[in-house]
Amino acid sequence: AKGAGRNTLRFFDPEMQAAATARAAMETDLRQGMLRDEFMLYYQCVVDAEGVPTGVEALLRWKHPQRGIVSPGEFIPIAEQTGLILPLGQWVLEAACAQLVAWSAKPHTQKLTMAVNVSARQFKHPEFSNHILNLLRLTGANPYRLKLELTESLLLSEFDEVIEKMSELRSIGVGFSLDDFGTGYSSLSYLKRLPLDQLKIDQSFVRDVLTDPNDAAIARTILNLAESLDLGVVAEGVETAGQHDFLLRNGCKAFQGYFFGRPVPVELLQLPNP
Ligand code: C2E
Ligand code: CA
Ligand code: CA
Ligand code: CA
């Protein structure tokens, strides 16, 4: 692969060169950040129809010494390209399970679920299931509280292996959500075969749900589809009471978005009262 890369740079392309240099710098920086323990998890509440938090989604942040808090959109793609997503993703799972264990000690937090984003590359690693099983065993976290969020890009290859892996983890209680639903490529026949628990309506459909009839139709279609496939649905990116009302009227029972709370460090989470 290295040789091929060199060949494609036969003609000097300053733009490509700059991008490659930036990527290499980011990779070095990411490695250092991991050694220096600069990553942390923010948590965003997922609420039920009454607005009561039933769980959270863990969202990775990088506390960069110079750049401040860096969003995952800026470094996850590079972590995926370089393979650093494997150790980083493992760290995320460990931290999330440790938090579940801490919550399990208190009656008012012990039922909370923890959603963790998993990259396709991470999920497809041959040891992924074993890593999860070991982690659950080691930490004592309840597998029924853990929900893994996968994206449709995962379905582009090795579909049978994906199903097998999901089924294995599901048999011990781990749940699965299909993230950013509606933005990818999954055909309905794929969807039916996947051992899923829920769909997450992508925030791009929620944003203009009140003003764009197409988005409203898509949101309604996803809600109906989930109902007929017996899947749960979480609407993402809910920012206003109007969006919430629309989704609620159309049968949505779980919500996530700034209207209910932004992603925050654990000590700032607004959880049910003791
Ligand atoms: P996502 O999984 O779709 O997460 C939802 C994103 O929407 C988060 O961005 C969240 O902060 C943002 N969000 C939540 N509510 C609202 C809202 O009401 N309005 C708007 N405009 N945005 C809202 P964030 O935290 O920047 O994460 C971006 C993406 O990075 C995530 O999208 C996910 O794909 C990825 N990511 C985050 N953490 C991890 C991780 O630990 N591992 C992996 N592999 N990917 C991660
Ligand atoms: Ca997600
Ligand atoms: Ca999403
Ligand atoms: Ca997204």
Instruction: Please choose, from the candidates 96, 174, 159, 193, the residue with its C-alpha nearest in 3D space to the C-alpha of residue 129.
Output: 174
Q: Is 175 in the pocket of ligand 1 (CB under 6 A)?
A: no
- CA dist 109 and 117 (Å) reads 21
* Residue 129, CB-side half-sphere exposure with 13 Å CA sphere: 14
Our mutation pick for probing the ligand 1 site, out of 117, 152, 262, counting the most ligand atoms within 8 A of Cβ, is: 117
Task: Identify the DSSP state of 273.
Answer: P
Is residue 225 exposed (0-12), middle (13-18) or buried (19+ Cβ within 10 Å)? middle
What pLDDT score does 19 carry?
Answer: 85
Task: Compute the average pLDDT of residues 175-180.
Answer: 96
Task: Identify the residue whose tokens are 């899923």.
Answer: 196
Q: Tens digit of pLDDT for each residue in 24-47?
A: 899 999 999 999 999 999 999 999
Torsion of CA 217, 116, 28, 9, to 10 degrees: -40
Task: Compute the average pLDDT of residues 196-207.
Answer: 96
Q: Which residue has the least CA distance to atom 43 on ligand 1?
A: 117
What pLDDT score does 274 carry?
Answer: 74
What pLDDT score does 199 carry?
Answer: 96
Ligand 1 mean position, distance from CA 263 (Å): 9
CB atoms within 10 A of CB 178: 23
Contact between 135 and 98 (Cβ < 8 Å): no
Task: Compute the average pLDDT of residues 125-144.
Answer: 97
- CA dist 98 and 119 (Å) reads 20
What pLDDT score does 2 carry?
Answer: 46
Q: Are strands 68-70 and 53-64 parallel, antiparallel or unpaired?
A: antiparallel
What pLDDT score does 1 carry?
Answer: 44
Task: Identify the DSSP state of 167.
Answer: H
Ligand 3 mean position, distance from CA 3 (Å): 36
Q: Tens digit of pLDDT for each residue in 215-262?
A: 999 999 999 999 999 999 999 999 999 999 999 999 999 999 999 999
Q: Tens digit of pLDDT for each residue in 80-114?
A: 999 999 999 999 999 999 999 999 999 999 999 99
ipTM for this model: 0.97
What pLDDT score does 83 carry?
Answer: 95
